[in-house]
């Protein structure tokens, strides 16, 4: 890696980057820590994490009605609780179902995605892992992926967990995000940087011309 963008060291991963509402972030962390505590007591940390992931990333986005249900406000708490029991009893763990019922009682179901992200962060931190978001213009080859993991392992002193995605708009290169730290070595970033430099240079030249014209006058 070069000093192309931000050379300061990466911070610990945090789902706080996902939401702009600091109040929601704080509340989500409280619930996520409570869920993790219960999961640890029942030796079900991974099971709960997998269930949360499926619910948030597969079940909820699959249907507009389900998305609306978890956003709350459409039906009352009692009706939502009944719906959760009918839909999830026997299909989800009792631990997760009880957690969702608690969220419903406190009108916090809309925070489920953020809670899931914080929960994952907490689990990874306990295992000395760090989540790394990587965007590339084309799929990352295995050899480059391994080199990136090795570099990040040295930098963070943790075991990187890569979450790679493809973004053709980058044109080339890659963007790496670890917590609040962001490294942008994409072609799109370089093009934008050069364009801004040219605009700034042109502005200076125009202003200098105006100053000379005013002076001559």
pLDDT at 5 over 50: no
- Buried/exposed 134-172: b ≥16 CB within 10 Å, e otherwise: bbbbeebeeeeeeebbeebeebbebebebeeeeeeebee
Q: What's this model's pTM, rounded to 2 decimal places?
A: 0.65
Candidates 185, 165, 173, 151; CA nearest to 10 is: 151
Candidates 146, 138, 126; CA nearest to 46 is: 126
Candidates 11, 9, 18; CA nearest to 119 is: 18
Candidates 61, 54, 105; CA nearest to 84 is: 105
**What does the longest C-alpha to C-alpha distance in the chain come to?**
87
Which pLDDT score is estimated for 178? 86
Q: Which fold has domain 15-123?
A: Peroxidase; domain 1 (1.10.520)
**% the chain with pLDDT above 90:** 42
pLDDT by residue (tens digit) across 151-190? 888 888 889 888 889 988 888 888 888 877 888 878 776 7
Domain chopping of the chain, boundaries: 15-123, 129-217
More confident position, 168 or 18? 168
Structure tokens given for 154 = 């040295």
pLDDT by residue (tens digit) across 49-101? 999 999 999 999 998 888 889 887 667 889 999 999 999 999 999 999 999 99
Q: Which residues, 6+ apart, have CB-to-CB distance to 130 below 8 Å?
A: 10, 12, 13, 124, 152, 156, 158, 159, 160, 161, 178, 179
């Amino acid at each position: 890696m070069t000093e192309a963008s931000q050379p300061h060291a990466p911070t610990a991963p945090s789902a706080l980057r996902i939401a702009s509402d600091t109040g929601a972030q704080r509340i989500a962390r409280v619930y996520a820590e409570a869920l993790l505590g219960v999961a640890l007591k029942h030796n079900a940390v991974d099971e709960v994490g997998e269930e949360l992931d499926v619910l948030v990333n597969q079940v909820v986005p699959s249907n507009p009605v389900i998305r609306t249900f978890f956003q709350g406000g459409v039906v009352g708490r009692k009706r939502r609780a009944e719906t959760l029991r009918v839909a999830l009893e026997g299909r989800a763990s009792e631990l997760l179902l009880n957690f969702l019922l608690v969220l419903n009682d406190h009108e916090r179901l809309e925070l489920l995605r953020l809670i899931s992200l914080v929960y994952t962060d907490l689990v990874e931190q306990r295992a000395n892992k760090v989540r790394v978001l990587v965007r590339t213009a084309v799929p990352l080859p295995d050899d480059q992926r391994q080199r990136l993991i090795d570099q990040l392992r040295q930098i963070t002193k943790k075991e990187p967990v890569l979450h790679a995605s493809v973004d053709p708009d980058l044109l080339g290169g890659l963007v790496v995000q670890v917590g609040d730290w962001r490294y942008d070595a994409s072609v799109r970033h370089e093009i934008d940087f050069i364009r801004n430099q040219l605009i700034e240079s042109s502005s200076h030249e125009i202003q200098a011309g105006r100053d000379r014209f005013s002076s001559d006058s």
